[in-house]
Amino acid sequence: MTSGPAVDDTGATVEVPARVRRVVSLVPSLTEAVAVTDPGLLVGATDWCAHPPGLALARVRGTKNPDLDLVRELRPDLVVANFEENRQGDLDVLRLAGIPVWVTVIRTLPEALTSLDRMLSACGLDAPAWLQAATDAWGDVIARRPRPWAHAIVPIWRRPWMVLGRDTFAGDVLARLGVANVHAGSGGRYPKVPIEELTSGPADLVVLPDEPYAFSASDGPEAFPGLPAALVSGRHLTWYGPSLVEARAVLERQLAR
C-alpha cells in the first residue's frame, strides 16, 4: 500500500494521504475496480458507472463534463481518473483545489493489470483476488501474443463512422485473442473513416461492440455486406477491471470462428 508522495502513470507526483477514506472515480472501469475491492471507499462516481450494479453514491455527471463543484463538496481524499477518459483541464481544477488526483494510463492489457494494482495501492488497498484471477485468465497470451487468425475492422461509432485505431486497449485485447486490427497503424486512436473505405479494405471480419455505439444484429452488419460480423460485449472489450476475469471467455465465444 502507498502513502505519502507517489507517482501515477503519467509521471506526476501525487500527495496521497496516509489513510484514504473517501474516493471519487471519474471512470467506469476504475469505479468497478475500487467498488469490488472495497465497497465502502467510494463516495462519488460518474453517471455512466453502472458496475457493480446497485451502487448508492453521489453521481458527478460524465467523464468529459464532471460536476467539479460537487466533486469538491464530496471532500475526496483521492480522485482516480484516466488520461484518455478525462480532460486535463478538469483534473487541473481539482488539483488547484488541493485534491490529490491519480491518473491511469492504460493502452494494453499488461498496462491495465499493472496500472490497476498501482491505483488500488494508492487507495490504500492490497491487490485483490480478482486482479490475480484476471492475470491468470490472460497469462498465456500476455507472455506470448498469438498469430492473427483474422484481420478486422472495429467500428465504435457510426454517423460518422469511427473505428479503433492505434494504441488502444480494446485493440490490444483483440490482438491477444488473435484478431488483428486493420487500422492499428492509423494516425489516430479513433479515426473517422468513410464507409466506402472501410468496405473496400483488406479486412476479413468486422467486430461490432455494443458500446459506446450500440451495434446490434439489425444495426451495423448490413453496412458490411459479404463480411462476417462478430457482435461482442463492449464492456468486456473496452473495460479494464474485474470484468477482465470473464472477458476472455466471453469474447472468445462471441468471436468464435
35 in any annotated domain: yes
Mark whether 101 and 210 lie in a shared domain. Answer: no
40 in any annotated domain: yes
Mark whether 209 and 162 lie in a shared domain. Answer: yes
195 in any annotated domain: yes
To the nearest 10°, the Cα dihedral for 156, 157, 160, 166? -20
141 in any annotated domain: no
Mark whether 99 and 16 lie in a shared domain. Answer: yes
223 in any annotated domain: yes
Q: What is the pLDDT of residue 4?
A: 60
Strands 150-153 and 179-181: parallel
- Residue finishing a domain among 127, 142, 176: 127
Q: What is the pLDDT of residue 257?
A: 64
Q: What is the CATH number of the domain that holds 33?
A: 3.40.50.1980
Mark whether 92 and 201 lie in a shared domain. Answer: no
Residue pLDDT, tens place only, 29-51: 999 999 999 989 999 999 999 99
Residue pLDDT, tens place only, 112-154: 999 999 999 999 999 999 999 999 999 999 999 899 999 999 9
Mark whether 173 and 244 lie in a shared domain. Answer: yes
Mark whether 189 and 249 lie in a shared domain. Answer: yes
Cell numbers 458496475: residue: 51
What pTM did the predictor assign?
Answer: 0.93
Mark whether 154 and 121 lie in a shared domain. Answer: no
212 in any annotated domain: yes
Mark whether 9 and 97 lie in a shared domain. Answer: yes
Conformational region of residue 4, where left means phi above 0, alpha means psi within -120 to 50, and beta covers everything else: left
Q: What is the mean pLDDT of each run of 10 residues along the chain (257 residues)?
A: 77 96 98 96 97 95 97 98 97 98 97 98 96 97 94 97 96 97 92 95 95 97 96 97 98 92
Structural domain span for residue 198: 150-254
143 in any annotated domain: no
Mark whether 196 and 117 lie in a shared domain. Answer: no
For residues 12 and 6, the answer to whether their CB atoms sit within 8 Å is no
Neighbours of 82 (CB within 10 A): 23
* Residue 242: C-alpha distances to residues 31, 130, 217, 246 (Å): 10, 6, 27, 8
Count of domains forming the chain: 2
Mark whether 82 and 171 lie in a shared domain. Answer: no
Mark whether 109 and 161 lie in a shared domain. Answer: no
Mark whether 73 and 11 lie in a shared domain. Answer: yes
133 in any annotated domain: no
